[in-house]
Amino acid sequence: MPVFAFEMRTKKEEMNLEQTLVITEKPSVAQNIAKVLGAYKRHDGYLSGNGWVVSWCVGHLVELAEPEDYDSNYKKWRKEDLPILPSKWKYNVSTATKKQFTVLKKLMLRDDVTATINACDSGREGELIYRLVYHQCGCKKPFSRLWISSMEDAAIREGFQNLRPGSEYDRLFEAALCRECADWIVGINATRLFSVLYGRTLHVGRVLSPTLAMAVVREAEIAAFVQESFYTVEITLPGMKATGKRLKEKETALQLTDECADSTATVTKYERKEKSEKPPALYDLTTLQRDANRQLGYTAQQTLDYAQGLYEKKIITYPRTDSRYLTDDMEELVPGLVSVAARIAGFYDDEDEDEFYEEDDNISRLIDSSKVSDHHAIIPTMSAGEKELSALPTGEREILQLIAVRLAEAVAGSCRYEEVTAEFECCGSSFTAKGKTILEEGWKAIEKVAEESRSKRQSSKRKANSKSRPDHLDKSMEDDVSLPEMNVGDRFPVKSADVKEGKTKPKPHYTEDTLLSAMERAGAEEIPDDAERKGIGTPATRAGIIERLVTRGFLSRTGNGKTKYLIPTEKGTALITVLPEQLQSPSMTADWEEKLLAIERGEYSSEEFMDGIAAMVIDLVETYEPAKDSAVILPAGRESLGKCPACGSDVVEYPKSYSCTNRQCKFALWKEN
């Protein structure tokens, strides 16, 4: 492997030099790394120079083979062929990326390439992507691991100076391989089993099904909700109003109103408490997606795409993270990063930089290496301060604004306020008045400025939407309401008494924001504290899961404006109705995550893990009985998705396509295309 150096070599020197092949996941990442390494010469599918060859994978080049690749009989979906449990796994090169795979294979097997470096994303999936290509190419050359969280030049240089032997990540790869194969076994067998039994394509997955189940259960709760009226009596006292407890009967409330009118209220309790609200933590991908959905109306997938674009432009750090903290060695960098974030957010320009200020104690709150897994929280890079941000697409610019504001908030002081509670007795009933006074705005001053700035950028339609608030904003802090001084035993005349009618409300429909939150929390109490991540799915895959549920017709997006609700379709509800509990519960993911973590540590064998998956699927196939009244829940025949544009017949869904039911018509839309 060449020494890490940046001096340029002559063409003659380069021809006689041993080459090291660096493989990334995406072309844009390869270009950034190649620039740092001095590999400027462009070729078809790679760059070279200075003793380095830099190429890329374009995501998953190598994928698990389809069932029919093991046995041609599996082309037809039949219950008698289940379960399908490969004794030896086969892999295929993705048709769409076969050209790039051929490039990588030639590079890996070139005589002058003596070693390779895995520069794919740092985590299970990045390890899996590289290793599958490495093995599919039949490469035997030594390889090292690059592990970085930023595409800045300095971070890349530091990463190459601290390369790790590839063998140190063998267990990480083993866990990733187990996860992939187990998902294949469950997905293929369960999807075929339920599709055959119920006569329509029903996609089942370890993460897909529990996510859909949460949405179906929520809608069932809403449908079963019975709205009830309730009544409260509000009395007006000098300088304040006090509210009584909820009453079920209007007559009772009216009677109390009559009694309280023109009477007096006696103070039974008076309490002042100073409280504080700490700034929110930095963004991980899920909290960024949630805020972007609530405030900007972006889907989780849109937010991920915009963040990925910013990362590849070296403007933010790696977005696919589940951490909300920075590592210990980053503490000295934070003041500079905060200055960059403040400029991005528009809090000051170069002439009034001193107006923005952060304290060392506040910075230390952001630092905790023990809470950082693969990557630290999402923050702007130092390079962001040198970019022409006005040239960014609107989506990327708005996501960058969120990230910059969050960093500025995170290093600001706590919001301090005084909360006052007064309780009164009037005509034998208890009434309560609450007040609060902001003592020091702290981070909320930044939030207020950011909200005002955002409202100016958004359309009047967006400004009118009441749900565009950050998830960490305490609504009780919106208004500064003070109460007069008083003592226990003081008496106040009641100026007026009124009845207020209210109605109980069901739980709200899921939005992308709240469903992401539910996915993040699902089964978390069952997952070990030191697991790679909590909940179902990963920060990087949750957006894709939601999109698949929508595109496959299990969920629909409904609603006007930027607030869209995710509502289960009839097909989605029917699927959850017939699925056994084990396939719609997040418990299976919790169990898997615990065992995969043990595999990474060498405390659990991959063979034992895969044997358990096989046993579960065998039991499912052998013991599952179709649900009663299945003909009503899932009527036989395929649901028409619309009319064929070629002949006018019905178009229905098949396992691999959406095709016309007219056998003489050739119209089809293939899912893989």
Q: Which residues are tagged catalytic? A: 318
Q: Is the dihedral of CA 520, 369, 359, 385 positive or negative?
A: negative
How far apart, in Å, are the Cα atoms of 200 and each of 210, 486, 665?
A: 20, 70, 21
Structure letter (DSSP) for residue 16:
T
Return the residue matching tokens 């610019």: 397
DSSP letter string, 535-567: SSS-TTTHHHHHHHHHHTTSEEEE-STT--EEE
How far apart, in Å, are the Cα atoms of 487 and each of 267, 418, 425?
A: 7, 17, 13
Helix/strand/coil percent split, the chain, to 5: 45, 20, 35
Residues 6+ apart with CB under 8 A from 354: none
Count other C-beta atoms under 10 Å from residue 476's C-beta. Answer: 12
Nearest-angstrom CA–CA distance, 377 and 231: 46
Q: Is 443 helix (H, G, I), strand (E, B) or coil?
A: helix
How far apart, in Å, are the Cα atoms of 393 and each of 76, 145, 285, 400, 496?
A: 46, 33, 20, 11, 56
Count other C-beta atoms under 10 Å from residue 504's C-beta. Answer: 11
Contact present, 279 and 409 (Cβ < 8 Å) = yes
Radius of gyration of the chain (CA): 30
Residues 6+ apart with CB under 8 A from 488: 267, 268, 269, 270
Q: Which pairing describes strands 429-440 and 240-244: parallel, antiparallel, or unpaired?
A: antiparallel
Count other C-beta atoms under 10 Å from residue 296's C-beta. Answer: 22
Contact present, 289 and 305 (Cβ < 8 Å) = no
List the one residue out of 514, 511, 513, 520 whose CA is nearest residue 589.
Answer: 520
Length of the chain, in residues: 673
Q: In which element (H, E) is residue 318 found? A: none
User: Which tokens belong to 106?
Assistant: 């030639």
Q: Is 434 helix (H, G, I), strand (E, B) or coil?
A: strand
Enumerate the H helices of 1-57 as residue ranges.
11-15, 27-37
Exposed / middle / buried, residue 85 (Cβ in 10 Å: 0-12, 13-18, 19+) = middle
Nearest-angstrom CA–CA distance, 634 and 554: 13
N-term to C-term CA, the chain: 40
Q: Is 110 helix (H, G, I), strand (E, B) or coil?
A: coil
Q: Is 618 left (phi over 0), alpha (psi -120 to 50) or beta?
A: alpha
List the one residue out of 114, 120, 153, 121 whose CA is nearest residue 34.
Answer: 153
Contact present, 411 and 363 (Cβ < 8 Å) = yes
Enumerate the H helices of 45-161 as residue ranges.
98-109, 124-136, 153-161
Return the residue matching tokens 């076969």: 98
